[in-house]
Amino acid sequence: MTETILANATLVLPRETRRGALRIAEGRITAIEEGTNVPPGAVDLEGDLLAPGLIELHTDNLERHIQPRPRVSWPHQAAIIAHDAELAGTGITTVFDALRVGSVVSNGREDYGEYARSLANEILDMRARGALRISHFLHLRAEVCSETLIAELAKFGPEDRIGIVSLMDHTPGQRQFRDISKLRDYVRGKHGMSEDDFQRHVASQQALRERLGAAHEAAAVAEARRFGAVLASHDDTLREHVEVSAGHGIRLAEFPTTVEAAEACRVAGIAVMMGAPNLIRGGSHSGNVAAAELAEKDLLDILSSDYVPAALLSAAVLLGDIWDDRARGFATVTAAPAAATGLTDRGRIAPEMRADLIRLTLLEGTPVVRETWVQGRRVA
């Protein structure tokens, strides 16, 4: 048995930080020792922070690699490898890759067709062949306002490493886009729609929700149970939204848009996840509640990098400053997401846990990842 010793580190433990060392063997943490001693053969971390590897529950980053420019497609295998390497370099050691299920085929838009099953096959195949550096699970984003959701979900099964199914309701005029002017700015900016095209888009989405929304929501809830996946809500805005979520058995709320919804989640025992970019930028790009406000009200449990992988670590450090508790800040990107998804073997520095670890230092408050390990093997 080969042993690795990471010594003279500032260990980010579940409830505190302190100087010490870790002993690692066969991909697991075998012991935690206190002090600054550097035994012969150990790696001297020179006082740098040593934290659990970050756990990312909701990222759109793979989409950016697959389509690096509008209407420009990149080879999927190369895109997946680049995405995986980028996450490893930012300290993320477990990711739930978010894939949309549910398409709109009647409007002829090429950018909103079915893709999740084929892309999932590629991710899972590359994982099985040992081509990926970090641990990958799937997060199926079930689009209620679509035409093909039920058929697409039927193509997946319990063997597909689906960790999360989220109920996505992007009906214009509610939830994330209660303010339709914000939706206009987003959609017209991203897709170059004319005003007439935008109005038709709004009308068609509202009609889809009216016609198929209830059936799609029920199907997504049932399929999440079949997969053995955690069910998540998305963009809860009203107390009534949270009550419906609780009725479905949801225990994870992605990006609630109001303090009202976050408070209702706390009462219902639903963990609240907010976007790290929201925290770093000082507010939501959609005009919704600021993550910092929820943090200050003790209504924030988990962070997601959403669309900027490097934001996850930066936001954890920032939360530690807001709360004056570095260990608590790191828990929002390690222990808390692990607990929310039932991953009992990672997210904490403790004996017998996976040796998924990151070494980092702070450059004027900005975290710099120096090394990343997955099951004791250095990957970045």
Q: How far apart are CA 273 and CA 276, in angstroms?
A: 9
Whether the pLDDT of residue 185 is over 90: the answer is no
Q: Which residues contact 295 (CB under 8 A, 6 or more apart)?
A: 279, 319, 322, 323
Name the amino acid, one letter, at 25.
Answer: A
Asked if 152 contacts 101 with a C-beta cutoff of 8 angstroms, the reply is: yes
Residues 262, 202, 155, 77: is their CA dihedral positive or negative? negative
> Which of the two residues, 191 and 228, has the higher pLDDT score?
228
Q: No. of H helices and E strands in the chain? A: 13, 16
Helix (H) or strand (E) holding 327: helix 326-331
Average pLDDT over residues 216-235: 96
Which residues does residue 337 pair with via DSSP β-bridges, in sequence order?
A: none
Q: How many domains does the chain have?
A: 1
Whether the pLDDT of residue 158 is over 70: the answer is yes
pLDDT the model gives residue 107: 67
- pLDDT bin (cut points 50, 70, 90) of residue 206 is confident
Whether the pLDDT of residue 109 is over 60: the answer is no
Q: How far apart are CA 146 and CA 337, in angstroms?
A: 28
Q: How far apart are CA 216 and CA 352, in angstroms?
A: 41
- pLDDT bin (cut points 50, 70, 90) of residue 181 is low
The secondary structure of residue 229, as a DSSP letter, is P
Assigned token pair, 156: 């997946």
> Which of the two residues, 369 and 186, has the higher pLDDT score?
369
Answer yes or no: is 44 within a domain.
no
Answer yes or no: is 333 within a domain.
yes
CA 285 vs CA 17, 107, 289: distances in Å: 34, 27, 10
Which residues constitute the domain of residue 247? Answer: 53-344
- pLDDT bin (cut points 50, 70, 90) of residue 188 is low
pLDDT the model gives residue 213: 81
With both helix axes pointing from N to C terminus, report the angle between 180-191 and 195-227 in degrees, rounded to the nearest 10: 100
Answer yes or no: is 65 within a domain.
yes
312-326: per-residue pLDDT in tens?
A: 999 999 999 999 999
pTM over 0.85, yes/no = yes
CA 156 vs CA 140, 151, 167, 226, 362: distances in Å: 10, 10, 16, 10, 42
242-292: per-residue pLDDT in tens?
A: 999 999 999 999 999 999 999 999 999 999 999 999 999 998 877 789 999
Assigned token pair, 292: 């910092």
Name the amino acid, one letter, at 215.
Answer: A
> Which of the two residues, 235 and 184, has the higher pLDDT score?
235
C-alpha atoms less than 13 angstroms from C-alpha of 150 in its C-beta half-sphere? 10
Answer yes or no: is 335 within a domain.
yes
pLDDT the model gives residue 182: 62
Assigned token pair, 305: 């990098």
Answer yes or no: is 279 within a domain.
yes
Answer yes or no: is 90 within a domain.
yes
CATH number at residue 84: 3.20.20.140
pLDDT the model gives residue 23: 98
